[in-house]
Chains A and B, each alone.
Chain A
Amino acid sequence: MQPFLEWTAAAVIVIAAFFLLVGAIGLARLPDFFMRLHAPTKASTLGVGGVLVASMLVAASQGRPGIAELLITLFVFVTAPVSANLMAQAALHLQLHSRAPVPADAVPERAPD
């Protein structure tokens, strides 16, 4: 395996693992649901993408096409915002309260349904 590809893959793996760990720490430590939604949905997407990019580099160095890795990357990048949006909708429907300092009149009242 070429040293340049090997070092690049190693660096991408370490950076991606750092982002995954930061996302999980944010999930465990932040105070309310909307802040906790913010941490892992961004950081973990980047982390999984980085791991898959490193895997594609290793596969390319072995002369094998990384089609499955490319598919997983596309799938994760398309579906992660959708699932985050659906979870936020569920939380809004359950009327969870955020601890973020928003003014009281910033959010319009819910229409009675």
Chain B
Amino acid sequence: MNVLDMALNIGIVAVTLAVLLCAWRLLRGPTITDRVLALDTLYMNAVALIVLLGIRWNTALLFEGALLVAMLGFASTVALARYLSRGDVVE
């Protein structure tokens, strides 16, 4: 096993732990903005995990998926934050 595979193993394990911690914060709260922040961080970690798996499996197909996940994460975070602060998503 070469050094890149070892680094990918370490990275995938660390990002999975980060996903679990974010999921714990998402379930626990205590306020609604904490849950929104945990969802945003979860999207970030999902992008990182998809990119790491794309390096691991040596395919370029996963990067468009990662780009889509990043865009969906930004859109959902903006929509939720606008809903919380304005009471309406589109004015």
Contacts and interface: CB of A to CB of B under 8 A. Distances in A.
Interface of A: 1, 6-7, 9-11, 13-14, 16-18, 20-21, 23-25, 27-28, 33, 36-37, 40-41, 44-45, 47-48, 51-52, 54-55, 58-59, 64, 68-69, 71-72, 75-76, 79-80, 82-83, 86-87, 89-91, 93-94, 96
B26 to A, nearest CB: 10
Contacts of A25: 18, 21
A13 B70 contact: no
B40 A14 contact: no
A55 B55 contact: yes
Contact of A87 (B2, B8, B81): B81
B82 to A, nearest CB: 7
A28 B8 CA distance: 24
Contact of B37 (A11, A36, A45, A82): A36
